[in-house]
Amino acid sequence: MKPLAITNDNFEVEVMNSEQPVLIDFWAPWCGPCRMIGPIIDEIAAEVSTIKVGKINVDENPDLAAKFGAMSIPLLLVLKNGEVVAQLLGAVPKEKVLDLIAPFVG
């Protein structure tokens, strides 16, 4: 499955009301490190079915970026029951992202 495009319009349904944990990638098209980690996020979305994976374009959704304090990107957050339970900043190898979500994928 591909990552969901999370926006102000679908955030409540896709993230806050999700029964699954949600991995969110805060990114922007002009961000070099975001482009580096993007394929990793795509792979995880395709490989891991027990966590929902979404991407938030900070340029198109500045309110969501502000809500979660996404001052630097890429920023990865894991939300469970609408609460941030884990986070990782910067372009990191796939193993680090898998480590981040490991406690939440049963």
This prediction has a pTM of 0.95
Residue 63 annotated to the active site: no
Task: Enumerate the domain spans of the chain.
Answer: 4-104
Write out pLDDT tens, residues 3-25.
999 999 999 999 999 999 999 99
Selected catalytic residue, list 4, 24, 31, 73: 31
Q: What is the rounded distance in angstroms from the CA atom of residue 1 to the CA atom of residue 4?
A: 9
Percent of the chain with pLDDT over 70: 100
Residue-averaged pLDDT of the chain: 96
Position of tokens 């409540």?
Answer: 12
In the predicted structure, residue 106 carries a pLDDT above the cut 80 = no
Candidate CATH numbers 3.40.30.10, 1.10.10.10, 1.10.8.420, 3.40.50.20; the one for domain 4-104: 3.40.30.10
Omega cis (within 30) before 62 = no
User: Which one of the listed residues 23, 34, 44, 58 is annotated catalytic?
Assistant: 34
**Residue 106 vs residue 63, higher pLDDT:** 63
Q: Is 34 a catalytic residue?
A: yes
Handedness of CA 14, 67, 61, 54 (dihedral sign): negative
Quick check: 99 pLDDT over 90?
yes
